[in-house]
A and B are shown apart, each in its own frame.
Chain A
Amino acid sequence: MSRFFFDGEPIEAQPGDTVASALYRAGRRIFTRSFKYHRPRGLLCLSGHCPNCMMNVDGVPNVRACVTPAREGMRVRHQNAWPSLEQDWLSAAQHFDSLMPVGWYYKTLTHPSAWHVAEPWIRKVAGLGDPPPPDAPPREYEHAFLQAEVAVVGGGPSGIAAAFEAASGGAQVILIDDQPEPGGHLRYTRPGEAPASIAQLRGQPNVELLARAYCFGLYEGGLLGVLQADPHPGAHERLVHLRAKRVVVATGAYEVPLLFENNDLPGILLSGGARRLLFLHRIVPGRRCVIVGIGARAEDLASDLRGAGIEIVSLISPDEVLGAVGSTRVEGLRFRGGSVTCDLIVVCGPLLPDAGLLSQAGARLAWSAAHGAFLPADLPPHVTAVGRVTGSGLEPAVPLPPGEVRAGKRHFVCLCSDVTSQDLVDGISEGFEHIETLKRYTTATMGPCQGRMCQLPAIGICARETGRTMGETGTTTARPPSPSVTLGALAGPRHHPVRRTPMHYQHEALGAVWLDMGAWKRPRYYRTAESSEERRCVQGEYQAVRERAGMIDVSTLGKLEVRGRDAGRLLDKVYTNRFSDLRPGRVRYCVICDDAGIMLDDGTISSIADDHYFLTTTTGNLEFVEQWLEWWLAGTGWDVHITNLTGGLAAVNLAGPQARDVLAGLTGLDVSAKAFPYMACRQALVADIPAILLRIGFVGETGWEIHVPAESGEDLWKALLEAGKAFGIRAFGVEAQRLLRLEKQHVIVGVDTDALTSPYEADMAWVVKLEKNDFIGKAALSRAAGDPREQLVGFVMQEDGVPDDGSAVVMDGRPAGRVTSSRFSPREGRAIGLAWVPAGLAGEGAEIRVRVQGRPLLARVTRRPFYDPEGARLRM
């Protein structure tokens, strides 16, 4: 015995109870209110297939109570009814149904102002359950990955037999079943007669049983999406990605309701639902029962119900039934020639093959009048179907298409959205004759039951009204996931990888404020003892670099090694400038363009030896550049090997007028301007660590980019800080770097350039060597050379104000360009920046208007770097 709470009231639950069975036993008959008319609805299928028992369980909306095991302390609430399920004020809506015929919302409120008033009200009454607030406690979900030779979906008698057979042949088998125990429909049609094969199956070492698990998708490549509930106490649900060589679908059949007036009243159960209450939960669902059905199925049911002490008042054939009587629950049944009173109606509805998965996998669904169902045909080669899903043992419960359509406003076809047979008939007469358009117009089949309950009657009505056969009418497309799956299970454990450089914790100790750059964390700036204000900290870092020395972690740069006899040839082909003539020990700036001449990335290439180059790429583009090189290499037969060293190397850029003094204290290498000039590279020990040193200067000062093995990154960092102490060195972050490089008008690809920028427009014609044989983008660049429409230029503000990145350049009140980067330059005492302007405004000294806080302020174009335009400091 356990206890949970429903709307605050304690409810006793017995072992094996679901939330719904415990509530039913406690006397509850209304479980939900319907979507549109707020009609009372009670348990119907007890198999998780209909929308009738959706409740809020522990804060989660729309949970099927009939397949949710009752657990101690659970908090269950009703939804979509106010104030209670018994007295829902919105049920008044059903009296206005004549104002809400099919598609009423398309046909009314066509004046925009009327619609704007009405829409919020329509929204308010729509929807089912309430989602929890954003800070609600999370739940654990898992992902798992399994392989099997044979996956069997469905643990009924035929699934068990198929699993057993495959396992006996030696195959490794996974059997997926959504019930707590295998046995399928036998569990509630022949209780106590579990097939002997269940025990045998359990004895097979090569069979794994996934219980309380269902397959919701049969995707390409033999991938099954499987959702398992409560895999272990630590996880709420587990999504299994199961790859199987062969798939056996043994999903059986499910039962759907019949169409008659008030067919949705509480107290009307499907035969499977009644049997489940009786045999799985030992609940006697009523006293006086009418059975609607024909043949042996109805007779069997009658005898089972009688065995439980239920009086069978009458057994009526579906085509005799006119309607159920009652307002909030069943009180009787009207049929041709009479009526009876009763407190329970059990319907032997059509049994339909649960063929959604097969259809998703590409099977055709063909109408079979003999079975009264669409049966799977033309299965893909790796999929087989066995048991009732193939139609075996199924027979029609009602003639389809129907002899006549009982069009009525209380004949519910779609329980999820309250679509009646009248609605369907009206929709068809308006021109929605194709089942796909009929579905979209009436919304039948589009609700939480995913069309399970309503697809067949809807097709029947459509066929009958349009004079076509069932086969001609056809089904709508089956789409995954079916059954539905929670977002949590799909998302799985919420892991978002974070990339940290080897010096991450050094930065943390120095007070770094972080910035996200792709998956990387980089210091934006460092707080100091004096201040944590960004502007002041950045200013301090800036000054250190310009006046003394600074160091920045650049480990996030992409780093590639390109080796082999033809390495230079490949680089000549992919990059716009020439590298085959780069002498060992030299570095060159490089740009990649695509075949339209658009800049994709930039970086540096250092020649280590004639057949050995060291490349850097921008932080975000490493994977792309690596693939791009491999792509252009493929098929050439050239001797080139590309190795990604990014994770293996840490890098620091040391820069400033005293950088040389700092470095000299740590290495035996001659770092004088003569021995180690600008744009040179060397290999040497720095602080006893083997390093590659590039003498380059993004920030505009004498500087070295020092690459060392990742495991020594922290040591290098600490050694540089220590050695630099005497010179007043400071670590600087990305923000200071952005300002420093802006004073040099150094472009950042992807920040200052966009998806249409050519090197000409970016003012970098010098990186394009059109005289080179062929390279990617040559043809487009040759054409573009003389004719940029827009130009990336530097500018200095002539009025107070610092434009934000992305501000517009305006001309006569219209957009004429945009600022890509702008900062206050301590050097200029004004804001400076880079901006795109029309070619006509790109001349030195041209006046442009830049929007700052919405005001067009004057700025002047300058194409010379603001700082050290000759680059003398770089070469010092």
Chain B
Amino acid sequence: MTQLFGNNRMWRSHELKKSYDVVIIGAGVHGLATAYYLGKEHGVRRVALLDKGYLGSGSSGRNTAIIRSNYRTPEGIPFYDASVKLYEDLSRELGWNVLFSQCGHLTLAHTDSGVAGLRVRAENNQLLGVDSRLIYPEEIRRLVPSMYLGAGQRYPILAALYHPPGGIIRHDAVVWGYARACDRMGIEIHPFTEVTAIRVENGAARSVVTTRGEIAAGAVLNATAGWASTISAMAGVPLQIVSHPLQACVTEPLKPFLDKVIVSATLHVYVNQTDKGELVIGAEIDPYQSYSTKGTLPTLEQMATYTLELFPQLHGVRVLRQWAGVCDMTPDFAPIIGAAEDVSNFYMDVGWGTYGFKAGPAAGKYTAEMIATGKTPKIIEPFSPSRFRTARLVGEKAAAAVSH
């Protein structure tokens, strides 16, 4: 309560120093969480976070903030589960409410093969201790009375994967909460500081050139999501990543009528209602590569069409804003976390595509451990950059493609 009225400065600004132990490029949730755990768990506090824009200006401030762990693979599930657990305790830990609403998450299936795909996830979730199960129209109707399950649907809802701990969070609050905690540990956050080059000498990343000067770095972390391949190109590290825009939109506030997150891969859409009453609607990625953050009309129309399939009564509800973020897509819909193979001192936590916000805390925690100890924690080993060379891909596509 006291902080309601006290001196509430969240963070300070700083001059750039000549050198830092760790320089993190990208102040989204991944960069911030890594800095936070470096400081908190490893006592590494000579850390600078650089971002070309304002705090949270990347996808961390543009996503639809769905948090869940009902993934598909035995590699993915424990990782996302660890992240959700960190989120569950984050408000208390940071003394800052990140508004994590574990309202429950439903992924709909409209075809036989859709049902089978969800069953794979339910089975693996249950075996690995994640609360998740298949439910059928009667129970779906009970959980989501405002959704249309009546006659005449082109793609009737046959079943849903119900994941009670899943939900939504206030993305900006996560960014600000981590940033405030970093600031209090003496970690520096430098918005509007764009990285333009990375100096590699004798096979090791030595310094980072920015629009505000050059800084020497003991270690460099690439946490730039949509721009990840541009940064790694500066260090001469090839990345299996292409960037696609992903669009979303939000409506005017309505009285609460939907308290579950609804996802349908067949309809390429997902919908939830925020605590403020707005409906947040997301699409699938744009079919072309681009760094554009503009919305397009066809995608907006598609989001509306499919939302009305599920909630036809919302035809008169108005869309207020449409936007896009840039997503760093990997071929197997799994991230790339690890040390670069051929350049030392250069780490990456990228490839978060359309689903990386929920992963922030766990990715940050284990990336921090990797940088601080020089050893890769087991839980992130499957995501190592070497998997493309050894053809050991992670089969997460079916669980990550539209369900963010």
- B197 in contact (CB, < 8 A): no
A91-122 residues at the B interface, CB under 8 angstroms: 99, 101, 104-112, 115-116, 119, 122
Cα–Cα distance between A496 and B305 once the two chains are bound (Å): 10
- A129 in contact (CB, < 8 A): yes
- A61 in contact (CB, < 8 A): yes
Most buried by B among A119, A122, A225: A119
Chain B residues near A797: list those with CB within 8 A: none
Known contacts A111-B91, A128-B253, A491-B308; A105/B10 CB under 8 A: no
- Tell me the nearest residue of chain A to B307, going by C-beta: A487
* Contacting pair B256 A128 (CB below 8 A): no
Chain A residues near B74: list those with CB within 8 A: 814-815
- Contact flags (1/0) for B15-57 with A, using CB distance below 8 Å? 0000000000000000000000000000000000000001111
- Tell me the nearest residue of chain A to B301, going by C-beta: A490
Known contacts A134-B150, A431-B10, A815-B123; A486/B254 CB under 8 A: no
- A869 in contact (CB, < 8 A): no
- B128 in contact (CB, < 8 A): yes
Chain B residues near A481: list those with CB within 8 A: 300, 319-322
- A295 in contact (CB, < 8 A): no
Cα–Cα distance between A79 and B317 once the two chains are bound (Å): 14
* Contacting pair A219 B297 (CB below 8 A): yes
- A123 in contact (CB, < 8 A): yes
* Contacting pair B255 A131 (CB below 8 A): yes
* Contacting pair A448 B56 (CB below 8 A): no
Cα–Cα distance between A515 and B312 once the two chains are bound (Å): 23
* Contacting pair A225 B297 (CB below 8 A): yes
Cα–Cα distance between A107 and B150 once the two chains are bound (Å): 43
* Contacting pair B96 A110 (CB below 8 A): yes
Choice from B127, B147, B172, B301 contacting A808 with Cβ under 8 Å: B127
* Contacting pair B304 A487 (CB below 8 A): yes
* Contacting pair A108 B54 (CB below 8 A): no
- A870 in contact (CB, < 8 A): no
- A136 in contact (CB, < 8 A): yes
Choice from A99, A115, A443, A808 contacting B120 with Cβ under 8 Å: A808
Most buried by B among A124, A484, A496, A815: A815
Cα–Cα distance between A813 and B126 once the two chains are bound (Å): 10
* Contacting pair B305 A485 (CB below 8 A): no
Cα–Cα distance between A138 and B155 once the two chains are bound (Å): 18
- B95 in contact (CB, < 8 A): yes
A394-432 residues at the B interface, CB under 8 angstroms: 426, 429-432
Chain B residues near A756: list those with CB within 8 A: 332, 393, 395
Chain A min CB distance to B47 (Å): 19
Choice from B4, B172, B316 contacting A60 with Cβ under 8 Å: B316
- A584 in contact (CB, < 8 A): no
- Contact flags (1/0) for A428-451 with B, using CB distance below 8 Å? 011110101100110100111010
Number of A-B contacts (CB under 8 A): 287
Chain B residues near A566: list those with CB within 8 A: none
* Contacting pair B116 A128 (CB below 8 A): no
- Contact flags (1/0) for B249-281 with A, using CB distance below 8 Å? 001111111010000000000000001110000
Cα–Cα distance between A122 and B276 once the two chains are bound (Å): 8
- Tell me the nearest residue of chain B to A519, going by C-beta: B154
Known contacts A480-B295, A481-B300, A516-B110; A754/B311 CB under 8 A: no
- B184 in contact (CB, < 8 A): no
- A235 in contact (CB, < 8 A): no
A61-87 residues at the B interface, CB under 8 angstroms: 61-63, 79-80
* Contacting pair B97 A139 (CB below 8 A): no
Known contacts A62-B318, A481-B319; A134/B308 CB under 8 A: no
Chain B min CB distance to A35 (Å): 7
B interface residue count range (under 10 / 10 to 19 / 20 to 34 / 35 or more): 35 or more
* Contacting pair A431 B11 (CB below 8 A): yes
Chain B residues near A134: list those with CB within 8 A: 145-148, 150, 311-313
A857-873 residues at the B interface, CB under 8 angstroms: none
- B343 in contact (CB, < 8 A): no
Choice from A99, A131, A807 contacting B314 with Cβ under 8 Å: A131
B359-404 residues at the A interface, CB under 8 angstroms: 391-393, 395, 397-398
- B315 in contact (CB, < 8 A): yes
Chain B residues near A63: list those with CB within 8 A: 316
* Contacting pair A130 B254 (CB below 8 A): yes
Cα–Cα distance between A563 and B70 once the two chains are bound (Å): 48
* Contacting pair B318 A486 (CB below 8 A): yes
A537-583 residues at the B interface, CB under 8 angstroms: none
- A336 in contact (CB, < 8 A): no
Chain A residues near B309: list those with CB within 8 A: 494, 496
- A765 in contact (CB, < 8 A): no
Known contacts A219-B297, A434-B54, A750-B113; A126/B318 CB under 8 A: no
- B351 in contact (CB, < 8 A): no
- B111 in contact (CB, < 8 A): yes
- B115 in contact (CB, < 8 A): yes
B94-140 residues at the A interface, CB under 8 angstroms: 94-102, 110-113, 115-120, 122-124, 126-128
* Contacting pair A450 B321 (CB below 8 A): yes
- A286 in contact (CB, < 8 A): no
Cα–Cα distance between A815 and B72 once the two chains are bound (Å): 10
- B296 in contact (CB, < 8 A): yes
Chain A residues near B150: list those with CB within 8 A: 134-135
* Contacting pair A814 B395 (CB below 8 A): no
Choice from B96, B113, B295, B398 contacting A106 with Cβ under 8 Å: B96
Chain A min CB distance to B140 (Å): 12
Chain B residues near A479: list those with CB within 8 A: 295, 321-323
Chain A residues near B12: list those with CB within 8 A: 431
- B286 in contact (CB, < 8 A): no
Most buried by A among B150, B252, B331: B252
* Contacting pair B253 A126 (CB below 8 A): yes
* Contacting pair B97 A241 (CB below 8 A): no
Most buried by A among B12, B61, B154: B154
Chain B min CB distance to A217 (Å): 6
B312-341 residues at the A interface, CB under 8 angstroms: 312-323, 331-332
Known contacts A490-B300, A596-B331, A807-B123; A123/B128 CB under 8 A: no
Chain A residues near B142: list those with CB within 8 A: none
Chain A residues near B9: list those with CB within 8 A: 429-431
Cα–Cα distance between A130 and B101 once the two chains are bound (Å): 21
Cα–Cα distance between A122 and B119 once the two chains are bound (Å): 35
Chain A min CB distance to B105 (Å): 16
Chain B residues near A124: list those with CB within 8 A: 256
* Contacting pair A127 B123 (CB below 8 A): no
Chain B residues near A446: list those with CB within 8 A: 320-321
- Contact flags (1/0) for B224-261 with A, using CB distance below 8 Å? 00000000000000000000000000011111110100
* Contacting pair B99 A105 (CB below 8 A): yes
Chain A min CB distance to B242 (Å): 14
- A232 in contact (CB, < 8 A): no
- A799 in contact (CB, < 8 A): no
- B173 in contact (CB, < 8 A): yes
Known contacts A106-B99, A440-B172, A486-B318; A494/B305 CB under 8 A: yes
Cα–Cα distance between A806 and B316 once the two chains are bound (Å): 39
A-B contact pairs, 23 of them (CB 8 A): A62-B317, A104-B4, A108-B4, A110-B97, A112-B89, A119-B275, A127-B253, A127-B255, A127-B276, A129-B255, A130-B254, A131-B255, A134-B146, A138-B315, A429-B8, A434-B191, A447-B253, A448-B253, A448-B320, A481-B321, A487-B318, A491-B305, A498-B154
What 3 pairs between A and B have smallest CB-CB spacing?
A127-B277, A806-B119, A488-B315
A binding-site residues for B, Cβ under 8 Å? 35, 59-63, 79-80, 99, 101, 104-112, 115-116, 119, 122-124, 126-136, 138-139, 141, 217, 219-220, 223, 225, 239, 241, 360, 426, 429-432, 434, 436-437, 440-441, 443, 446-448, 450, 479-481, 484-488, 490-492, 494, 496, 498, 515-517, 596, 750-751, 754-756, 780, 783-784, 789, 804-808, 810, 813-815, 818, 820, 851, 854
Given contact pairs A129-B254, A138-B312, A485-B319, a sample of 7 additional A-B residue pairs in the complex whose CB atoms are under 8 Å apart: A112-B100, A134-B150, A135-B150, A141-B315, A220-B294, A814-B74, A815-B74
